[in-house]
């Protein structure tokens, strides 16, 4: 009974951990074009067959196979706003986990066995591996469908009832929500083929330990019918067979997208979630090999199939966890519960359960703290506040307000947000609908070589660039700044706007051009092509810095630049004032504490400088400059 209560406690702790991880706000740039499309479908009831969002791929075929998900997401957004939509992350995740447990525990007692703690541990590892992908996108609905299909198919192995006939209905719904719906028919086929292989083995006298799960030949007819219906249901969508053409086009041409790369190409030391994938694989693959004879053929095929998918692409890792935990647990169940002598006595079960409780509590606390971390330049991103982080509203409004001429070149990551807020007034160069653009156009716009910029501008009549400020193409920023043909006219904490000097209005250039300050170059060290402070231009620096503050008094950028300029001019008291004003806006903006401390250091305020260096190190322990200067003060 005690081990059962501990298992219940661990289930609760696991659910809490899942909610915390789901509520942490993450980068999700695709949600915006999904919302735009859902709104388009609801308001116009027009089903687009070709691209209408971009100027670069206008008229290209667009297979809209996620239309039902997009309507669902937009309906939630319209009913409750962005926060409500964000709260559906844990709802969808918990639904998927419920069916994982239901499938794994088919034919088992729910609590009190050592195997239950093992199942909880498997799901715990899955959460740590897949939590960055718990974002509002159609694949989140596929998580629920994959696990629901698996539950029904595994249940059918033991209790053959009418629930199996739900699968064709679910297949119709799924194929209109996400392209992964093809896995539904494949899973049905795997269980049918596996069952027939098991039946053949029994007839040949090769009875396996799972003999009780092998029904007579007649019992496979309903599954054969359901499998055939599931295959036919794949065509019950507005694009009929068009989705299969899209699936064929997925390949190495899009390897620039990190989630489409193979885990074999990335070191797990550089991606912590990937480390849990390899640990899980290293733990479960030997178990499957040892238990191979005990496993039904269907379970072997499911494990092998999802393993193959996960090795092809990072975005399939979560499918590997969700699809293989139930068969892996079924394989391990006999070893953990029926082995003599049993691997755990009663005390061992309690110790293992309590250790798992401590691990879940510690991870949940760490995840909660991580969710409140300073992120992307020190800004705090609180859980459940939204569905995406990158929001270049100011740059978009500037473009619309000034009606900039020519076509717009935009970063891949912000294309969807522009569509949500400014289409049809603005058409994008590129966005998250990768397959609409094709590999050649995708590579041309996402891996832009500055040396080929002139040809691109000429081919597409590019009149202006809108580029994200951080983690962008620094070489492109440096090239635009150095040519003199692309003056910078707008920037804030999120994005920058460069205009084509030959197309822009002279009055706009006279009033808005920044000749000396570029925040991207400002962020770089001088040896990497960053801003080199020239004392001759101090008045010009200060004038442009004041203009930034007037335009964006709530942004950090202006205060950061003003403090830097005044510090280099030897005006430490004024620099301190600007840095402190910036900190008042965002109190945990760690990038301001080190220069503020250095200003006090130079001004001789050593006690205040030491306190600020310590604060900077608490916010950013990797700040070696602050660490070295603090050691100087303490010596």
| pLDDT bracket for residue 527 (50, 70, 90) | very low
What pLDDT score was predicted for residue 113?
Answer: 57
pLDDT at 590: 63
| Cis, bond preceding 150 (omega within 30 deg of 0) | no
Query: pTM, whole model, 2 decimals?
Result: 0.86
Asked which of 32-46, 371-385, 429-443, 494-508 is least confident by mean pLDDT, the reply is 371-385
Q: What is the pLDDT of residue 213?
A: 53
pLDDT tier for residue 381 given thresholds of 50, 70 and 90: very low
Using the predicted structure, report yes or no on whether residue 210 has a pLDDT greater than 60: no
Cα gap 316→304, rounded to integer Å: 13
Q: Quick check: 551 pLDDT over 50?
A: yes
Three-state secondary structure call for residue 306? helix
Tell me what pLDDT residue 378 has: 42
- The answer to whether residue 144 scores a pLDDT higher than 90 is yes
Is residue 247's pLDDT more than 90?
Answer: no
Residue 373 confidence class, pLDDT cut points 50, 70, 90: low
| Phi-psi map region of 486: left, alpha, beta (phi>0 left; psi -120 to 50 alpha) | beta
CA–CA separation, 1 and 346 (whole Å) = 10
380: pLDDT strictly greater than 50: no
100 has a pLDDT exceeding 60: yes
| C-beta atoms surrounding 260 within 10 Å | 18
Determine the straight-line distance between the first and last CA of the chain, rounded to whole angstroms: 60
* CA distance to 6, 119, 314, 364, 464, per residue, from 355 (Å): 10, 14, 31, 14, 58
Number of H helices, E strands in the chain: 26, 6
User: What is the band of 198 on the pLDDT scale with cuts at 50, 70, 90?
Assistant: confident
Coil, strand or helix at 379: strand
Share of the chain above pLDDT 70, in %: 83
| Average pLDDT for the chain | 82
Summarize the confidence of residues 406-435 as an average pLDDT: 92
- Tell me the average pLDDT across 211-219: 55
Q: Which residue has the tokens 């193979």?
A: 262
Determine if the peptide bond prior to 424 is cis (ω within 30°). Answer: yes
Judge whether residue 120 has pLDDT over 60.
Answer: yes
Q: 298 and 190 in contact (C-beta within 8 Å)?
A: yes
The reported pLDDT for the residue numbered 606 is 85
pLDDT band at 376 (very low <50, low <70, confident <90, very high): very low
Structural domains of the chain ordered from first start = 2-374 (no CATH), 390-529 (no CATH), 533-635 (1.25.40.10)
Residue with tokens 């740590």: 128
CA distances from 163 to 142, 159, 181, 485 (A): 19, 10, 19, 66
CB 491 within 8 A of CB 557: yes
pLDDT > 90 in the chain, percent: 36
Among 125-129, 441-445, 584-588, which stretch is predicted with the lowest mean pLDDT?
584-588
* Strand pairing report for 407-410 and 488-491: unpaired
**Which segment of 302-311, 368-377, 416-425 scores lowest on mean pLDDT?**
368-377
Q: Per-residue pLDDT tens for 53-81?
A: 999 999 899 988 899 999 999 999 999 88
């Amino acid at each position: 009974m005690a081990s059962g209560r501990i298992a219940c406690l661990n289930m609760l702790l696991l659910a809490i951990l899942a909610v915390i991880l789901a509520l942490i706000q993450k980068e999700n740039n695709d949600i915006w074009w999904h919302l735009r499309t859902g709104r388009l479908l609801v308001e116009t009831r027009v089903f687009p067959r070709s691209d209408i969002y971009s100027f670069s791929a206008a008229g290209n075929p667009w297979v809209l196979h996620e239309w039902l998900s997009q309507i669902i997401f937009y309906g939630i957004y319209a009913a409750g706003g962005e926060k409500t939509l964000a709260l559906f992350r844990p709802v969808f995740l918990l639904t998927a986990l419920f069916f994982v447990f239901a499938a794994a525990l088919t034919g088992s007692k729910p609590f009190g066995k050592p195997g239950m703690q093992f199942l909880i541990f498997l799901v715990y590892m899955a959460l740590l591996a897949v939590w960055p992908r718990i974002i509002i996108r159609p694949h989140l609905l596929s998580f629920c469908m994959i696990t629901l299909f698996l539950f029904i198919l595994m249940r059918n192995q033991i209790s053959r009832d009418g629930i199996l006939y739900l699968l064709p209905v679910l297949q119709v719904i799924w194929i209109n929500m996400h392209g992964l719906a093809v896995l539904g028919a494949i899973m049905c086929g795997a269980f049918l083929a596996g069952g027939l292989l098991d039946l053949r083995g029994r007839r040949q006298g090769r009875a396996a330990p799972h003999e009780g799960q092998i029904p007579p030949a007649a019992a496979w007819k309903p599954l054969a019918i359901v499998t055939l219906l599931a295959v036919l249901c794949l065509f019950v969508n507005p694009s009929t067979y068009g989705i299969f053409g899209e699936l064929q086009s997925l390949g190495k041409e899009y390897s620039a997208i990190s989630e489409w790369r193979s885990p074999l190409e990335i070191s797990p030391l550089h991606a912590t979630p990937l480390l849990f994938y390899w640990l899980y694989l290293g733990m479960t693959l030997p178990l499957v090999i040892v238990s191979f004879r005990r496993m039904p053929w269907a379970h072997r095929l499911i494990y092998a199939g999802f393993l193959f998918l996960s090795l092809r692409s990072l975005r399939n890792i979560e499918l590997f966890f969700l699809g293989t935990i139930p068969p892996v647990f079924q394989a391990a169940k006999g070893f953990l519960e029926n082995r003599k002598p049993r691997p755990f006595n009663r005390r061992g079960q309690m110790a293992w359960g309590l250790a798992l409780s401590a691990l879940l509590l510690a991870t949940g606390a760490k995840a909660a703290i991580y969710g409140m971390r300073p992120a992307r330049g020190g800004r705090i991103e609180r859980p459940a506040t939204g569905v995406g982080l990158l929001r270049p509203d100011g740059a978009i409004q500037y473009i619309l307000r000034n009606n900039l001429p020519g076509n717009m070149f935009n970063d891949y990551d912000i294309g969807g947000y522009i569509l949500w807020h400014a289409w049809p007034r603005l058409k994008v160069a590129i966005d998250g609908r990768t397959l609409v653009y094709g590999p050649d156009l995708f590579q041309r716009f996402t891996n832009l070589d500055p040396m080929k910029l002139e040809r691109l501008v000429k081919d597409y009549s590019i009149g202006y660039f809108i580029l994200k400020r951080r983690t962008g193409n620094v070489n492109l920023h440096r090239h635009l700044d150095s040519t003199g043909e692309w003056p910078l006219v707008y920037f804030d904490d999120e994005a920058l706007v460069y205009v084509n000097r030959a197309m822009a209005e002279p009055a706009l250039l006279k009033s808005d051009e920044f000749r000396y300050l570029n925040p991207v170059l400002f962020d770089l060290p001088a040896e990497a092509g960053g801003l080199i402070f020239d004392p001759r231009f101090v008045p010009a620096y200060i004038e442009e810095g004041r203009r930034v503050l007037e335009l964006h008094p709530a942004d950090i950028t202006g205060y950061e630049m003003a403090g830097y300029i005044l510090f280099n001019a030897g005006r430490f008291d004024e620099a301190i004032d600007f840095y402190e004003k910036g900190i008042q806006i965002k109190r945990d903006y760690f990038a301001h504490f080190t220069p503020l401390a250095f200003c006090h250091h130079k001004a001789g305020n050593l006690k205040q400088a030491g306190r600020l260096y310590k604060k900077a190190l608490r916010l950013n322990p990797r700040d070696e400059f602050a660490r070295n200067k603090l050691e100087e003060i303490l010596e």
